[in-house]
């Protein structure tokens, strides 16, 4: 009977169901009040800054409900509304015990990403990792329920001795309401494994080795200015004080640089034509010629400016066509028309690729 029940529950995971955005979710106790304490579910509303239940909605559990309609992925932000992190810090200032960031039952979020980042911040403070688990979808494939579990939850794959999964039950379950806000309806904070205590140990958890958007923007800016991968990693290390404090390795940094290079590769031809058009608008004597192959790709490109044409009229008796430059990215030769002025200085008269 237990195996059949597990199969039935697994068949309901991530299935497109209806969702009525105009009606709040109706919640009920899943396993009884006696079992909630044994399973490590945080149900004490008066401790750890746990928020009051949302309206008259019970936060003891969750049950299947009708799901119809479509909705945005997040609630419209409001500057006058405090975020979940601000609420958690205020609660800690009042109680002065426990964790600073604690996922209290009833805590609200503007989006699912905010809920994940909040629980991930809590996991860093406690000393474990998190990942997304079971979810429920609307008929329009929009999430209306999401479980965020400990990285040690579940069972390892067969013949996988390196897996950290040991059946840990720590998790939070968040539900979406009619105005597209999310809230925590269940929290289990009991782990069956050792927790990481030092910063070095916590960095071994995969969720704590990610790059924030500001670091990604810095890497993108450095790569656009042709800074090598090693120097980029050294610059990031200087921001964190030392290379040992960088929360990620060179592997994700290399993957990000590869993605940036691919994006730049797709847009380089368009950017080159835009740059030539801008130069021609600024200098009416600027000239360029483009040859396209059968696949509508740039085959050859030649350009010169009005100043170079004037120099050629004066010092064009002897020219040197230098093709020693070559780019590895496009595998195209790059040549320069070089002359010499009356001071025996090299002058650029044009370029071709």
Query: Over the stretch 247-303, which tens digit does the pLDDT of each residue have?
Result: 777 778 888 888 887 777 667 777 778 888 888 888 888 888 888 777 767 778 888
CA dist 343 and 340 (Å) reads 8
Query: Over the stretch 47-95, which tens digit does the pLDDT of each residue have?
Result: 454 454 444 444 445 555 555 556 666 777 777 788 888 888 888 888 8
Which is nearest to 265 in space by CA: 207, 202, 312, 331?
Answer: 331
Block residue for tokens 């929360």:
247
Which is nearest to 249 in space by CA: 231, 233, 228, 235?
Answer: 233
> Which residues does 159 contact at the CB level (< 8 Å), separation at least 6?
none
CA dist 210 and 104 (Å) reads 25
What is the pLDDT at residue 232? 85
CA dist 145 and 182 (Å) reads 9
What is the pLDDT at residue 186? 92
Which is nearest to 113 in space by CA: 132, 133, 90?
Answer: 132
Q: Backbone phi, then psi, for 31, in 5-degree steps?
A: -130, 10
Q: How many CB atoms lie within 10 A of CB 13?
A: 12
What is the pLDDT at residue 148? 93
7 pLDDT more than 60: no
What is the pLDDT at residue 146? 92
CA dist 105 and 115 (Å) reads 12
Q: Report the pLDDT averaged over residues 125-139.
A: 88
Q: How far is CA 340 from CA 86, 140, 235, 323, in A?
A: 67, 69, 41, 17
Considering 26-30, 104-108, 317-321, the range whose residues carry the highest mean pLDDT is: 104-108
What is the pLDDT at residue 31? 38
Percent of residues, the chain, with pLDDT higher than 70: 74
CA dist 271 and 276 (Å) reads 9
What is the pLDDT at residue 65? 54
What is the pLDDT at residue 39? 38
Query: Over the stretch 180-225, which tens digit does the pLDDT of each residue have?
Result: 889 999 999 899 988 888 776 777 777 777 777 788 888 888 887 7
Which is nearest to 48 in space by CA: 4, 114, 92, 79?
Answer: 92
Per the CB < 8 A criterion, the answer to whether 339 and 347 are in contact is yes
What is the pLDDT at residue 188? 92
Burial of 102 (0-12, 13-18, 19+ CB in 10 A): buried
Task: State the average pLDDT for the chain.
Answer: 74
169 pLDDT more than 80: yes
Q: Among 142-146, 196-200, 309-313, whose mean pLDDT is lowest?
A: 196-200
Q: Report the pLDDT averaged over residues 143-171.
A: 84
Query: Per DSSP, which regions of 189-343 are E strands?
Result: 287-292, 298-304, 320-326, 333-340
Q: How far is CA 121 from CA 114, 208, 258, 330, in A?
A: 10, 9, 28, 43
44 pLDDT more than 50: no
Q: How far is CA 129 from CA 18, 186, 201, 203, 249, in A?
A: 32, 18, 11, 10, 17
What is the pLDDT at residue 160? 66
103 pLDDT more than 60: yes
């Amino acid at each position: 009977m237990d195996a059949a029940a597990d199969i039935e529950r697994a068949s309901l995971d991530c299935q497109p169901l209806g969702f009525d955005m105009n009606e709040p979710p109706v919640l009920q106790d899943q396993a009884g009040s006696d079992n909630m304490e044994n399973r490590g579910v945080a149900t004490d509303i008066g401790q750890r800054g746990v928020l009051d239940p949302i309206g008259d909605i019970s936060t003891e559990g969750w049950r299947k409900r009708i799901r119809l309609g479509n909705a945005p992925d997040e609630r419209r932000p409001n500057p006058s509304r405090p975020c979940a992190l601000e609420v958690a810090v205020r609660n800690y200032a009042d109680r002065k015990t426990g964790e600073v960031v604690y996922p209290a039952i009833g805590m609200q979020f503007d989006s699912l990403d905010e809920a994940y980042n909040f629980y991930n911040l809590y996991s860093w403070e406690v000393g474990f990792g998190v990942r997304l688990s079971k979810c429920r979808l609307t008929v329009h494939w929009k999430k209306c329920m999401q479980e965020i579990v400990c990285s040690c939850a579940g069972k390892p794959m067969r013949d996988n001795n390196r897996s950290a999964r040991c059946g840990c039950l720590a998790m939070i379950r968040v539900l979406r309401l009619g105005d597209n806000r999310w809230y925590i309806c269940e929290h289990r904070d009991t782990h069956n494994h050792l927790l990481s205590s030092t910063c070095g140990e916590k960095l071994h958890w995969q969720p704590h080795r990610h790059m924030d958007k500001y670091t990604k923007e810095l890497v993108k800016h450095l790569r656009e200015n042709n800074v090598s991968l090693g120097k980029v990693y050294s610059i990031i290390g200087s921001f964190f004080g030392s290379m040992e404090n960088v929360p990620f390795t060179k592997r994700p940094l290399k993957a990000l640089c590869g993605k940036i290079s691919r994006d730049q590769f797709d847009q380089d031809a368009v950017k080159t034509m835009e740059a030539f058009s801008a130069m021609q608008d600024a200098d009416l004597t600027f000239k360029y010629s483009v040859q396209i192959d059968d696949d509508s790709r740039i085959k050859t490109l030649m350009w010169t400016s009005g100043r170079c044409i004037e120099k050629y009229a004066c010092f064009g008796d002897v020219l040197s066509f230098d093709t020693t430059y070559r780019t590895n990215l496009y595998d195209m030769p790059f040549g320069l028309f070089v002359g010499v002025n009356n001071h025996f200085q090299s002058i650029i008269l044009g370029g071709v690729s």
